[in-house]
Amino acid sequence: MLQTTQSISLNGSSVIDGTSIVNFSTSLSADQTYSSISMQIVNMELYKANKDKVREDRDAFQKQADTLVDGLSASTN
pLDDT in tens, 21-64: 999 999 987 776 667 899 999 999 999 999 999 999 999 999 99
What pTM value is reported for the model?
Answer: 0.81
Reduced to 3 states (helix: H, G, I; strand: E, B; else coil), residue 61 is: helix
pLDDT in tens, 5-20: 777 899 999 999 999 9
Distance of CA 30 to the CA centre of its chain: 15
Compute the half-sphere exposure of residue 70: CA atoms within 13 Å on the CB side of its CA. Answer: 6
Query: What strand order describes the sheet that includes 38-41?
Result: 7-16, 19-29, 38-41
Q: Where are the alpha helices (DSSP H) in 14-50?
A: 44-49
